[in-house]
Amino acid sequence: MLKLNSSAIAASSSVPQSVLNTCARYPDHGALIGKAGARSYTYRQLADAVTHLSGGLKHLGLSHGDRVGILSENCPEWGLAYLAVQVAGGVVVPFDILWKETELSLILGVSGVKFLFCAAKSRDLIDHIIQSKLLPVTVINFDKGTGPTFETLLGSDPYWSDETRRGDIASLIYTSGTTGDPKGVILTHDNILSDIEGMVDALVIYPDDIFLSVLPLHHTLESTCGFILPLCLGLTVVFSRSLKSRDILEDIKNNRVTFLIAVPLLFEKVYNSIEKKIQELPVIRRLTIRLLYLISKFSWKIGLNAGRLLFKSFRIKTGLHSIGLFVSGGAPLPPEISEWFNLIGFDFLEGYGLTECSPVVAVNRPGDIRFGSVGPALPNMQIAIDNPSRDGIGEIKVKGRITTPGYIDNPNATAALLKDAWLYTGDMGKIAGGHLYITGRKKNLIVSSAGKNIYPEEIESALHMSPFILESIVLGRKRENKMGEEIFALIVPNLENIKQTIHDLENPLDQSSLHAIIENEVKIANERLADYKKLNRFEIRLEEFEKTSTRKIRRAIYK
């Protein structure tokens, strides 16, 4: 079967035009498959719904360039609203369904949205914010209710704006925050379509691929790669029931999903779940799997992927045999996770990007996977290292049509981001053999008393190799009356693994025993690190770290 190419996308003048052109080519093919009991749409039904919703928005008074918010959990209707806004000539402003009142109030105020598609669970809070701040926002219910609703707009005459061009703004992505001014990232139609062109040309995507949508659609990784990309190619998108690994595995099996894009935490959960089941197998079977893994590892080193054959029955038993491609992004991935998935026969690719780049910048390629790297740049992108150190590490800068024109109404922040046509990412890394390696965030950098640069992410990766550490944050703490910073870690232990592996299940785990176990794991991690990178102190916390809706740890609140 021939892989798809980006020629049709390159010829489109806007995101919705690319999708609607696909609707004309594959009218009866499944487009959006809702969760159990929810509505699904063929491409013909998608085109019909989008153009009628667009007509409803025009009837309500939407003008070209007006901003429209979307606040809902993942569902086909979120996607229809997104496309309808752009078909009508509007700009989409995605809202995070997990934002609290302070965040919602802030973004509603600064974004200037004229309309807001809103899920029923958030309607009362949104009404309260709009009334208390006297905001001129018309709310459109996704569900039944007073005022305009999704269903009533579907009854409008169809409309298609012919004013939209590639350089027009397609969406504004606002950073959240309870203090300060959030920045609105401008993404044009050309930004998004160019990123999709690069992805399609870099990866191997087939006409019968089925995508599973897991990440929140307000997140740029999911909206670009898990929603718009497949719709531009005539593929099917299935919406996952939840972020629980059991539900995801069942959704993959029941829908014969072939393509999954997710964040590292999800893949780590799948890995841990399968590894746990392996540990429960009889000794002979467990040893056989370990032996096959070592054979696969050796074959990988000589350019072969024996895991495809050796672990074929294993993949069938896990229910993952339909998967053709896993892609991880949005946060650093422990190299051993990528290695494990690839060695048992999957094509598992780690990539790198940021919202300001629509978002994908680089990704490993099938046949050219290097564990620990995020791959080469997309074919239509340039990557360079600014002011590299002796070991080649510096700030990553990128150039290409996928980069944002800047932050809306924020010239100072835009000037700091864009310099001489290059976008400065704030991430530190190096390039080796054409592959990009991320070492950490510039703002997370720890400077030792000897002036050495230390990247917390490297130390965290060493800690996370322990089965008894669930998650960690490594920070630099000022040394009292001394120069430089000491390396300090907040560590969340994996209590389940500790109890099952080394502790008597019938007796409670006391604080001193737990501290001794984690102290030993820190000692093991330190042995993997250069002397100046070794962890000085740590503190145990029993609650998981607060995370964003895309499962990233909110580091800033723990500094």
SS3 state of residue 131: helix
Confidence at residue 483, expressed as pLDDT on a 0 to 100 scale? 58
> Any bridge partners for residue 418, and if so which?
423
Confidence at residue 29, expressed as pLDDT on a 0 to 100 scale? 97
Asked if residue 492 lies in contact with residue 472, where contact means CB atoms within 8 angstroms, the answer is yes
Q: Of the candidates 135, 170, 191, which is a domain's last residue? A: 191
Does any domain span residue 243?
A: no
Does any domain span residue 145?
A: yes
Residues 171 and 296 in one domain: no
Confidence at residue 506, expressed as pLDDT on a 0 to 100 scale? 56
Q: Of the candidates 441, 472, 499, which is a domain's last residue? A: 441
Residues 52 and 66 in one domain: yes
Does any domain span residue 245?
A: no
* Residue type for position 374: V
Asked if residue 498 lies in contact with residue 517, where contact means CB atoms within 8 angstroms, the answer is yes
Does any domain span residue 9?
A: no
Q: What is the CATH number of the domain that holds 506?
A: 3.30.300.30
Number of domains observed in the structure of the chain: 3
For residue 394, give the H/E element and its range.
strand 394-400
Does any domain span residue 231?
A: no
Q: Which domain holds residue 397?
A: 263-441
Residues 47 and 160 in one domain: yes
Residues 420 and 478 in one domain: no
Q: Of the candidates 441, 462, 481, which is a domain's last residue? A: 441
Residues 423 and 513 in one domain: no
Please spell the DSSP secondary structure of 68-84, one letter per residue. Answer: EEEE--S-HHHHHHHHH
Long-range Cβ pairs for the range 163-167 (8 Å, 24+) = 163/64, 163/89, 164/13, 164/14, 164/16, 164/17, 164/64, 164/86, 164/89, 164/189, 165/13, 165/14, 165/189, 166/13, 166/14, 166/190, 166/193
Confidence at residue 498, expressed as pLDDT on a 0 to 100 scale? 87
Asked if residue 155 lies in contact with residue 143, where contact means CB atoms within 8 angstroms, the answer is no
- Rg of the chain over all Cα atoms, to the nearest angstrom: 24
Does any domain span residue 319?
A: yes
Residues 367 and 428 in one domain: yes
Residues 141 and 66 in one domain: yes
- CA dist., res. 299 & res. 370, Å (int): 15
- CA dist., res. 360 & res. 88, Å (int): 27
Confidence at residue 273, expressed as pLDDT on a 0 to 100 scale? 83
SS3 state of residue 389: coil
Half-sphere exposure of 394 (CA within 13 A, CB side): 14
Does any domain span residue 312?
A: yes
- CA dist., res. 429 & res. 362, Å (int): 13
Residues 390 and 489 in one domain: no
b/e burial code for range 16-48 (CB count within 10 A of at least 16 → b): bbbbbbbbeebeebbbbbbbeeeebbbbebbbb
Tell me the mean pLDDT per 10 residues along the chain, length 559: 82 95 97 91 98 98 97 97 98 94 92 97 96 96 90 96 94 72 93 98 96 95 97 97 87 96 88 86 93 96 94 92 94 89 96 96 95 96 95 96 97 96 96 95 76 82 90 84 77 88 65 91 91 90 85 79
Q: What is the CATH number of the domain that holds 73?
A: 3.40.50.980
At residue 49's C-alpha, the angle toward residues 47 and 55, to 5°, is 105
Does any domain span residue 544?
A: yes
Residues 25 and 166 in one domain: yes
Where would I find the beta strands (DSSP E) of 217-337?
236-239, 259-262, 325-328
Confidence at residue 178, expressed as pLDDT on a 0 to 100 scale? 43
* Residue type for position 479: R
Residues 491 and 436 in one domain: no
Confidence at residue 305, expressed as pLDDT on a 0 to 100 scale? 92
Residues 396 and 478 in one domain: no
Q: What is the CATH number of the domain that holds 331?
A: 3.40.50.12780
CA distance to 32, 53, 367, 465, per residue, from 59 (Å): 26, 10, 51, 57
Residues 94 and 184 in one domain: yes
Confidence at residue 504, expressed as pLDDT on a 0 to 100 scale? 56
